[in-house]
Structure 1
Amino acid sequence: MESCCSSTAMDPRYHVFCGDPAGEEVAAMSVCEAFSSRRDDTPRYALPREIGHYSLLQDGEDFKFVDGDGAKRYLRRQIPFCPMWNLNDGYAKTPHVNWISLTPAECLLRWIIRNKDKAVTLSTSEGQSERVRTDFVGHRLCLCVLMCTPYDKTTAWRMVASRHRGVIYLRVHPTKTEVHRYLKGRKDNCFVDRTTYWGIKFHRIMSPTEPCVAPEEGELVREGDSYNTVLRGQIGMHTFVISGEVKAVDPSVQCEPGSTASYVEFKTNRVFSAESHRLNFLKHKLLSWWAKSRIGGVPRGLCGFRDDNGIVRHIQEFDVSKMPGKAKGLWSEDVCMQFLDDALNFIRQHVEGDDGRTVYLFTYEPSFYQITCKRLVDPGKLYSLPDWFLKSIEGS
Structure 2
Amino acid sequence: MKSTYIPVPPSSSSFPSFKRPSILGSYGQNEQREWIEDPSSYLKTFDARNWFRQSLNKKPLDLNRGKVILKDENHSAREGITSLLEWLRRNPQTNCPDFVLFRGVLTMLMKTPYERREPWCYSVVKYRDTIYLKAEETEYARNQKDRVSPFIQKTMEWGYKFEHILSQTSDSNMDNVINTNEEYDSVYRTELEGMAIIYGAEMDAIFKSQKPEVNVEDFVEFKTSKEFQNDRNYQNFVKYKVLKWWCQSFLVGITTIVCGFRDDDGFVRRIEDFSVRDIPKLEGVTWKPNVCMGFLKNLLKTLKNDIILTPNIVYNVSFDPPGSNINTYETDLDISHVLPSWYTENTTKS
TM-based fold match above 0.5: yes
How far 1:328 moved relative to its partner? 5.8
How far 1:285 moved relative to its partner? 0.5
> What secondary structure sits across from 1:221 in the alignment?
strand
Q: Gaps (5+ residues) in structure 1?
A: 1-23, 118-130
The answer to whether the aligner puts 1:71 opposite 2:42 as a matched pair is yes
Larger CA deviation: 386-395 vs 175-184: 175-184
Aligned partners of 2:289, 2:183: CA distance in 1, in Å?
Answer: 28
CA contact (8 A) 2:115 2:322 kept: no
Q: How high is the sequence identity, in percent, across the aligned residues?
A: 26
The answer to whether the aligner puts 1:30 opposite 2:1 as a matched pair is no
Compute the TM-score of the two structures, normalised by the length of structure 1.
0.81
> What secondary structure sits across from 2:30 in the alignment?
strand
**One-letter code aligned to 2:34:** K
Mapping 1:153-168, distance limit 5 Å: 153-168=116-131
Q: 1:249 to 1:109 in 2, by over 3 A?
A: same
How far 1:65 moved relative to its partner? 1.2
Q: 1:45 to 1:29 in 2, by over 3 A?
A: same
How far 1:108 moved relative to its partner? 0.4
Mapping 1:112-151, distance limit 5 Å: 112-117=88-93, 131-151=94-114
Match of 1:386 in 2: 340
The answer to whether the aligner puts 1:195 opposite 2:155 as a matched pair is yes
After superposition, the C-alpha distances for 1:274-330 in whole angstroms (9 at most, x for unaligned) are: 011001000100000000000111111100000001111210000000011115651
How far 1:387 moved relative to its partner? 1.4
Mapping 1:178-193, distance limit 5 Å: 178-185=141-148, 190-193=150-153
After superposition, the C-alpha distances for 1:244-277 in whole angstroms (9 at most, x for unaligned) are: 011001123859x573010100000000000110
CA contact (8 A) 1:161 1:359 kept: yes
Q: 1:350 to 1:104 in 2, by over 3 A?
A: closer
**One-letter code aligned to 1:196:** M
Match of 1:234 in 2: 191
State the superposition RMSD in angstroms: 2.0
Mapping 1:195-344, distance limit 5 Å: 195-208=155-168, 215-252=172-209, 259-326=215-282, 329-344=285-300
Q: 1:274 to 1:295 in 2, by over 3 A?
A: same
CA contact (8 A) 1:49 1:232 kept: yes
CA contact (8 A) 2:203 2:219 kept: yes
> What secondary structure sits across from 2:147 in the alignment?
helix
Compute the TM-score of the two structures, normalised by the length of structure 2.
0.91
Larger CA deviation: 285-294 vs 372-381: 372-381
CA contact (8 A) 1:283 1:327 kept: no
Match of 2:137 in 1: 174
CA contact (8 A) 2:7 2:325 kept: yes
CA contact (8 A) 1:287 1:331 kept: yes
Q: How many residues align?
A: 341
CA contact (8 A) 1:76 1:213 kept: no
**One-letter code aligned to 1:180:** N
Q: Gaps (5+ residues) in structure 2?
A: none
**One-letter code aligned to 2:328:** C
Match of 1:121 in 2: none
> What secondary structure sits across from 2:179 in the alignment?
coil
The answer to whether the aligner puts 1:53 opposite 2:53 as a matched pair is no
How far 1:89 moved relative to its partner? 1.4
Aligned partners of 1:389, 1:177: CA distance in 2, in Å?
Answer: 31
CA contact (8 A) 2:314 2:335 kept: no
> What secondary structure sits across from 1:195 in the alignment?
helix
Aligned partners of 2:17, 2:271: CA distance in 1, in Å?
Answer: 33
**One-letter code aligned to 2:184:** Y
The answer to whether the aligner puts 1:370 opposite 2:329 as a matched pair is no
How far 1:226 moved relative to its partner? 1.1
How far 1:152 moved relative to its partner? 0.6
> What secondary structure sits across from 1:302 in the alignment?
strand
